[in-house]
Amino acid sequence: MTHCIDTAGVEEAALQMDETTLGSTEHGDKESPATLNCNLESSDYLKDIVFEYEDEVHPRQPDTLPAVTGEGEEERDSEDDTVVVRWQLLHKLQTILVIVAATVATFGLHNYLSVFNSIAASGLVGLVSGLVLPQYMALAAFCGSFAGMATLQVIPSVVAAISLGFFCALVVLVFDYKGFLLGIGGRLGFIALCACTMHFVLSIIVVAPSPEASLVDISSFPSIEEFFPIKLFRVLSTTIVGSIFMKLWRLTFARLEGSLAKCMAHSVVASSATGILVAWTLPLWATGPVYCGSFVAMAAPEELPTMMSIVSAATLAGLAQLALDGFFLGGWGGKLGTAALIGVLLYRIPVRLLAECVDSQEDGSESDAGNKPNVPGMTEV
């Protein structure tokens, strides 16, 4: 059974918006084509935004019992608090178990079955999770799949993978509690990288790490000849292709009828499907950047509202992948997602600062106009 969002109310509101726009034109109101297009685009955006839930969807808490007055009110309030606390504990327990299971499943698929590489394994786990689990659990499972992309050089056994899953669940709970990086594409991968790094640092205290695994190795950075122009062009172009493909996938299925089509438009399913397709069709050098680009497109619409903003962030994410070549070596989980996160942040921070500067200048202009003294002979327009 698939779990989808009920879009009836949103579609009805969008339909009313369309009817209002067309009705004003039919009744002779002079509305410019630009305004009409803006209204129509707004209605399409309203229909699409219901599927944008990256990192921001949380399950609705159970309704508390109605308040009573008089005798027994304190007992009823205590019962209400107990119900909410139990529900929260159950939610956290479900999140932990789903993340651990997804981590171990992904780890086992690509490390012990030759038919799967790390991207195909992560995509398969994410696709199944997105189709059969509620949204918040699918996101948790997708995060666990990123941690499970670690190789045996970094996470040497299944037992270590289980402990990695618990580390990842812990970081997820902390990030959700603090509200860190909500709506930023690549957030789940960055969480997986943090968990993998914590596990690696603590494990080397007890067990000597593999020679192929290390946090940083300057000698692994590509030379200028290797970097430019072939590798640079390959990484940037394939990252951009991945972001565009994933976004178009979502927009296409969002406009189709049926519950399955709506589920296929979810960001977890779209990104997972992108990973599976590229893992089994494209050369190895292209699979990672394309998968990374799909994480960029998972950003919330207020962070990357247009296709141009997605392409810009994907370009920066491609540069971030190249910059991380000498870090987290040996097969680290979450490295691609971290590159996507860096790309989105590098795009959003200057854009947000510029918007704040423009707003402050406009506020200053309005304030100056309001404080302008009245001069005799001047008339108000």
pLDDT digits (tens, 9 = 90+) for 48-64: 433 333 444 444 444 44
The per-residue pLDDT of the chain, averaged, comes to: 81
Residue 159 token pair: 């037992």
23 domain residue, yes or no: no
Cα maximum dimension of the chain: 87
Task: List, for residues 81-123, the tens digit of each pLDDT value.
Answer: 788 888 889 999 999 999 999 999 999 999 999 899 999 999 9
Between the alpha carbon of residue 229 and those of residues 173, 237, 282, 288, the distances in Å are 42, 12, 20, 18
| d(C-alpha 167, C-alpha 99), whole Å | 10
pLDDT for res 368: 61
Domain that holds residue 148: 79-359
Confidence of residue 230 (pLDDT cuts 50, 70, 90): confident
| φ, ψ at 27 (rounded to 5°) | -85, 10
**Mean pLDDT in residue range 136-161:** 96
27 domain residue, yes or no: no
Angle of helix 73-112 versus helix 118-132 axis, rounded to 10: 150
Asked if the model's pLDDT at residue 22 lies above 50, the reply is: no
Asked if the model's pLDDT at residue 69 lies above 80, the reply is: no
| d(C-alpha 213, C-alpha 203), whole Å | 12
369 domain residue, yes or no: no
3-7, 206-210, 241-245, 262-266: the lowest-pLDDT one: 3-7
232 domain residue, yes or no: yes
Which residues 6+ apart lie within 8 Å of 345 measured at CB? 184
41 domain residue, yes or no: no
Asked if the model's pLDDT at residue 380 lies above 80, the reply is: no
pLDDT for res 373: 55
Number of structural domains in the chain: 1
pLDDT for res 369: 60
SS (H, E, C) 111-166: HHCCCCCHHHHHHHHHHHHHHHCCHHHHHHHHHHHHHCCCCCCCCCCHHHHHHHHH
Q: What is the length of the chain?
A: 381
231 domain residue, yes or no: yes
Q: Give the Cα-Cα-Cα angle 210, 215, 220 (nearest 5 degrees).
A: 90
Residue 314 near residue 304 (C-beta atoms within 8 A): no
Question: Which sign does the torsion angle of CA 316, 319, 323, 325 carry?
Answer: positive
Residue 47 near residue 12 (C-beta atoms within 8 A): no
Q: What share of the chain is helix, strand, coil (3-state, %, to 5)?
A: 70, 0, 30
Judge if the upstream peptide bond of residue 229 is cis by omega within 30 degrees of 0.
yes
| d(C-alpha 356, C-alpha 360), whole Å | 6
Asked if the model's pLDDT at residue 144 lies above 50, the reply is: yes
173 domain residue, yes or no: yes
Could you give the 3-state DSSP secondary structure of residue 215?
Answer: strand
92 domain residue, yes or no: yes
pLDDT for res 374: 52
Asked if the model's pLDDT at residue 227 lies above 80, the reply is: no
Task: List, for residues 282-336, the tens digit of each pLDDT value.
Answer: 999 999 999 999 999 999 999 999 999 999 999 999 999 999 988 999 999 999 9
Angle of helix 307-323 versus helix 232-254 axis, rounded to 10: 140
| d(C-alpha 150, C-alpha 335), whole Å | 9
